[in-house]
Every structure is written in C-alpha cells, then in structure tokens.
Amino acid sequence: MNAYISSLGHYVPEKRVSNDELAKTLDTSDEWIRSHTGIGNRHVSSDQETTAYMGYKAAQEALDKRGIGAEEIDMILVSTITADYHEMPGTSCLIQDLLGNSICGAMDIKAACSGFVYGLELGKGLINNGTASKILVIGTERLSRVLNWKDRNNCILFGDGAGAVLLEKGEGSPRGIINSILRAEGSGFDALSHPRGGTSNPFIEGEIVGTDHYLDMDGRRVYNFAVRANTVILKDLMEKNGLTVDEVDWIVPHQANRRIIEAAAKRDKIPLEKFYLNMEEFANTSGASIPLALADMEKKGLLKEGQKILTVGFGAGLTYGGNYIIW
C-alpha cells in the first residue's frame, strides 16, 4: 500500500508578462523566445506574493479540495530555490505558520528543479514507514526576485508560482507513488548557481551590490545535461517498472524548455503528445513546475484514476530524477 496523491492545489500571481512585453525593455523578441524555449508568458509576483504566501495558497487549495484542516497535516516538505529568507528559516516553517498548524514537521528540500520529485519520494517514505499519515509536498518559487532583468540569456526563461499535493496513506488500491529514481551529478555544481551570498563567497559589509548575486547559468551546458537526464530517467523508470512507452499515459516533465523535451522525446522514441507541457503559459517555475503542471492537468480533466504517470525533473546541483505514479 503506497502513499498516494489525494488532492492538488496551485497558485500563480495575477500579473502576467508576455514575451512582447519583455521585448520592450530587452533586446529579444517573441519569435526568438518561442522558437528557442516554447515559452510565451510568465507570471510575476507582487510585493505581497512571497514564496511562502504562494506555497500556502497552493497548499490551502489542496486541503480545501480534500475537505480537511491544516491541523491534520503531520509534515510539510517544500521544494524551493527562492526561499523568503537566506538559508534560514526554511520556507516550510513560514508556510506552516500561515496554514495555522503549530506542531507538524516542516523541512525545505534543496534539490532545485528536481526538488518536487525528491519530495514525493521522501514523503512516500515517511508515510510508508509510519512516521506520518498526511503530508503536504509543495513546490513554490519566486524566481522573478533572483533574476537579472537586463540579462536576456536568463530572465526570459523563468516565472513565479506554486503547486502542492496532499500525500496520504494508501487504502489498498493500486494507486500511489510506486517508486522513484533520484540522482545527482555534483561535478556540474557551477553550471547553475547563485554565486554570491553563501559562506564560500559571502557579501562583505559596505560593498556595493553588483549582479553576481543573481541566478547564473551556463545555458548550453544545462541544456545538454537536461536532454541527457530526461532520456536516462525515462528509460530507467520504464525499465525498472517493466513499462512500455504505450503503457505510459502521461509524462510530466519539469517545464524548463520545450526544445529539451522534444530532443529527449526523439532520443527515447516517445511521442511528444505523451508529455504534458505548459511552459507556454508559466515558463520555468523550477521546483513548482511539476506540481503546477499536475494541478493544471487536473483542472483540464486529464487525470483519471489508474493512469500510469512518469515525472522527470532536472536542475541545479546538478540533480535529476523521476517518479512512477499510478494515479
């Protein structure tokens, strides 16, 4: 009896910025961004829409849909690379406070765009071993606050938003998080990072802030890794579970770039229609992108009990992985 996803929630800021709008202040175009990434819009937070606030709203929606209160939650796991506070406290604790639960465990997961994939497996483990019976796994990101909006190489790629799932103990049905593959390639740690502000390169009192605290990425290097990571994870997940491509109903990848998914689909000989893609509307929301996609699919009536779903994540670390879910 595996832990299963019993409810979903999401939150995206109302403010929506199109490629054309970006092109008013940046040397770029809708045509370039769409053809290189598949991205058409992104949502951008207001001052009130903090990382914790968006995560809280997504979590509250999941709880409301299930008809339970936050006091029933035993653990909150939050994937984010845009925490409200640097290093501490964890955004999970802020979300716990906003939800009004004053006792459950709360922990942030630092696995970047693979964080939700890691979080599902961690949550499943805590439920299956009896430590918890109801867990919120949340991905929430406010990437607009860590981007250099003058750098066309990076800022066009990302957006803000949150997705949340409620994990519960299985009731004997085949539904659940069946298994996962979780990997990392630490030799690529410098391909995508925040170079400043950590203890190895801290800010110095009185210094004038430059641009090196913004998200820094070697796009081509990450692209090559991402195509390889997608290919390997999907192949290994199918092999591990004895699944053929035809038996898989949906693949829900991290929504980084349509070209990455197209290249991986071609290599693995998987029809592109099996992949659910929504980066056109939300751009890359890092740890939030997979739960946001799942919530989006549910809203469109695409998720049906018994479907076989694979997730695949990849990102800074470099981390990568995937889950096999029977919905």
Residue of this chain nearest to ligand UT7 (CB atom): 219
Instruction: Identify which range of 48-56, 86-94, 150-158, 241-249 contacts ligand UT7 by CB under 6 A.
Output: 150-158
Specify whether 284 is catalytic: yes
First-to-last alpha carbon distance for the chain, in angstroms, is 13
257 interacts with ligand UT7 by CB under 6 A: yes
Residue whose token pair is 């939650």: 73
Rounded to an integer, what distance in angstroms lies between the CA atom of residue 95 and that of residue 76? 8
33 or 326, CB closer to ligand UT7? 33
Q: Taking the mean position of all CA atoms in its chain, how far away is CA 277?
A: 13
Task: Report yes or no: 219 and 284 within 8 Å, Cβ to Cβ.
Answer: no
315 interacts with ligand UT7 by CB under 6 A: yes
193 or 307, CB closer to ligand UT7? 193
Site string for ligand UT7, 201-220 (x = CB under 6 A): ----------------x-xx
CB of 160 to ligand UT7, least distance (A): 14
Rounded to an integer, what distance in angstroms lies between the CA atom of residue 9 and that of residue 295? 6
Catalytic residue among 2, 154, 278, 284: 284
Strands (E), the chain: 4-11, 16-18, 41-43, 75-79, 105-109, 134-142, 160-168, 176-184, 192-193, 216-217, 250-253, 308-315, 319-326
**Positive or negative torsion for Cα 131, 54, 278, 268:** negative
Partners of 75 in the β-ladder = 105, 135
CB of 156 to ligand UT7, least distance (A): 4
Find the binding residues for ligand UT7 in span 11-40 (CB under 6 A): 28, 32-33, 36-37
156 interacts with ligand UT7 by CB under 6 A: yes
37 or 50, CB closer to ligand UT7? 37
Q: What are phi and psi of 323, to 5 degrees?
A: -120, 145
Catalytic residue among 113, 155, 230, 323: 113
223 interacts with ligand UT7 by CB under 6 A: yes
CB of 149 to ligand UT7, least distance (A): 12
Catalytic residue among 154, 254, 278, 323: 254
33 or 162, CB closer to ligand UT7? 33
User: Nearest to residue 140, comparing CAs of 217, 83, 99, 213?
Assistant: 83
Specify whether 10 is catalytic: no
222 interacts with ligand UT7 by CB under 6 A: yes
Peptide bond into 174 cis (omega under 30): no
Specify whether 113 is catalytic: yes
Give the interface size with ligand UT7 as a residue count (CB under 6 A): 20
Residues that bind ligand UT7 (CB under 6 A): 28, 32-33, 36-37, 113, 152-153, 156-157, 217, 219-220, 222-223, 226, 256-257, 284, 315
Active site residues: 113, 254, 284
